[in-house]
C-alpha cells in the first residue's frame, strides 16, 4: 500500500488541499469551507507528486485550460464512478441538470441518486461537479459553497445570471 501524499495550493477560490498516492490524484478539497480536511498523521506533505496537477489547475484558473489530463484515482462505488466519469464529459462552460445527467446514465428518475454521487465527488474542479445545476437553472449544492460554484462557472463563461426572484439563490441558464 502506498503512502498518501498531500500539498496545499493557493487558488482564486481559496486554498485547495491535494492528496494522492504518488502516481495519481485521489482528492481535491476546499480548505476554506466549513470542513477543512486535516491530513491524517501518516500522510506525508510533499509537493513533488503534485507538480502536474498544480500546473493544470493554475492554467485552468488563468483561463488557459479547459480539460485536465492528470492521472486520477477516485475511490467510490461503481455508480459513483459512473457519475464522476459522466461529469468529465460535460463541456467546459456548459451546465447540465441532475435529471438530464441521470437520463444520460440510463437512470431516468435518478436525479437524487446522481445528486448524492455528485456531492461525494472527491475531485471537484478536475471532475467538474460544479457544472451540474437544478432543473430550474438554480445553482444547488456544492462542497465548496455556492459562491465558489458561481465563480467557477463564471470563469468558464457559463451563462450565469442573477436570480430575478430571489437574490439568495444564484441561477444559471442552460
Provide the annotated active-site residues: 129
How buried is residue 145: exposed, middle or buried, by Cβ count under 10 Å (0-12/13-18/19+)?
A: middle
Contact (Cβ atoms closer than 8 angstroms) between residue 20 and residue 39: no
- Reported for 91-96, long-range contacts at CB under 8 A and 24+ positions apart, including other chains, are 91/66, 92/66, 92/67, 92/128, 92/156, 93/66, 93/153, 93/156, 93/157, 93/158, 94/131, 94/158, 95/131, 95/132, 95/133, 95/153, 95/158, 95/159, 95/172, 95/174, 96/131, 96/132, 96/133, 96/174
- How far, in whole angstroms, is CA 138 from its chain's centroid? 17
Amino acid at each position: 500500500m502506498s503512502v498518501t501524499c498531500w500539498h496545499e495550493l493557493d487558488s482564486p477560490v481559496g486554498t485547495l488541499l491535494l492528496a494522492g498516492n504518488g502516481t495519481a490524484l485521489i482528492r481535491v478539497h476546499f480548505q476554506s469551507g466549513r470542513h477543512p480536511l486535516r491530513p491524517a498523521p501518516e500522510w506525508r506533505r510533499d509537493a513533488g507528486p503534485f507538480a502536474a496537477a498544480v500546473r493544470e489547475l493554475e492554467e485552468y484558473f488563468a483561463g488557459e485550460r479547459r480539460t485536465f489530463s492528470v492521472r486520477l484515482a477516485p475511490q467510490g462505488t461503481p455508480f459513483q464512478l459512473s457519475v464522476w466519469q459522466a461529469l468529465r464529459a460535460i463541456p467546459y462552460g456548459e451546465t447540465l441538470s441532475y435529471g438530464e445527467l441521470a437520463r444520460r446514465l440510463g437512470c431516468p428518475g435518478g436525479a437524487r441518486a446522481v445528486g448524492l454521487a455528485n456531492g461525494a465527488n472527491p475531485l471537484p474542479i478536475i471532475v467538474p461537479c460544479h457544472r451540474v445545476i437544478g432543473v430550474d437553472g438554480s445553482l444547488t449544492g456544492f462542497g465548496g459553497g455556492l459562491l465558489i460554484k458561481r465563480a467557477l462557472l463564471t470563469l468558464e463563461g457559463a451563462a450565469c445570471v442573477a436570480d430575478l426572484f430571489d437574490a439568495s439563490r444564484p441561477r444559471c441558464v442552460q
